Amino acid sequence: DGGITQSPKYLFRKEGQNVTLSCEQNLNHDAMYWYRQDPGQGLRLIYYSQIVNDFQKGDIAEGYSVSREKKESFPLTVTSAQKNPTAFYLCASSINGINQPQHFGDGTRLSIL
Amino acid sequence: AQKITQTQPGMFVQEKEAVTLDCTYDTSDQSYGLFWYKQPSSGEMIFLIYQGSYDEQNATEGRYSLNFQKARKSANLVISASQLGDSAMYFCAMREGRAGGSYIPTFGRGTSLIVHP
């Protein structure tokens, strides 16, 4: 079955530590996205990538970094510069087009220890 | 200014009744796409229905229909015959063409729907 896999489901970060959230898709989609969701809020775009080896900042990129070395993979690193990282993180992929829905992973819940 | 506005933070509906979730959008583009997603308490986002700006007929998918009023820039989701499993957050989203050929979706803040037995 095709889909998007995010891991881990739960993650804890210590002060000053970088952590990496994994996102893998086997849908052969060119575009991939990372969103942050806080309680009672919609989805805010962190980074997106339309093609391998290229990515763009979204609305809230500060304190985060990404890479897109393979079409299937788009890992997100939450750096120590992100002072309020506690949130639910969703990864998505899609065919790039106005009429194309996004396919989402199950999310990673990140908390501060 | 918000591009997608969902004015109902929470909605309640009796099982088997219909419910309408509101969504208004703001764009100057002629070509755009509108989407609705469902997010159960488990967290995953599930695509429900799509409406293109040039579509003349309202989109339907099973119990879901989209009441598209282009002049009013509204794209309300109608769920008929509500079921207990419909209890979830519902998000409206829009894709517009952007510079460089990207189509980055913009999401509303969501509406929490609770279906009572």
Q: What is the pLDDT of residues B9-67, one digit of tens each?
A: 999 999 999 999 999 999 988 899 999 999 999 999 999 999 999 999 999 999 999 99
Query: Which of B3, B42, B51, B107 should one mutate to test binding to chain A, selecting the residue with the greatest count of A CBs within 10 A?
Result: B107
Say whether A98 and B101 touch across the interface (CB within 8 A): no
Read off φ and ψ for residue B58, nearest 5 degrees: -70, 140
* pLDDT value of residue A1: 65
**What mean pLDDT comes out for the span B109-113?**
96
Instruction: Return the number of CB contacts < 8 Å for A and B.
Output: 65
* pLDDT value of residue B2: 73
Residue B1 has pLDDT above 80, yes or no: no
Which tens digits make up the pLDDT trace of A59-112?
Answer: 999 999 999 999 999 999 999 888 899 999 999 999 988 899 999 999 999 998
Say whether B95 and A100 touch across the interface (CB within 8 A): yes
* pLDDT value of residue B17: 97
pLDDT higher for B79 or B103? B79
B110: which residues sit within 8 A by CB, 6+ positions away?
A41, A42, B6, B39, B89, B90, B91
Say whether A56 and B107 touch across the interface (CB within 8 A): no
- Residue A93's nearest CA partner among A39, A40, A45, A28 is A28
* pLDDT value of residue A70: 97
* pLDDT value of residue B100: 61
- Residue A102 has what DSSP assignment? P
Read off φ and ψ for residue A41, nearest 5 degrees: -115, 160
* pLDDT value of residue A113: 81
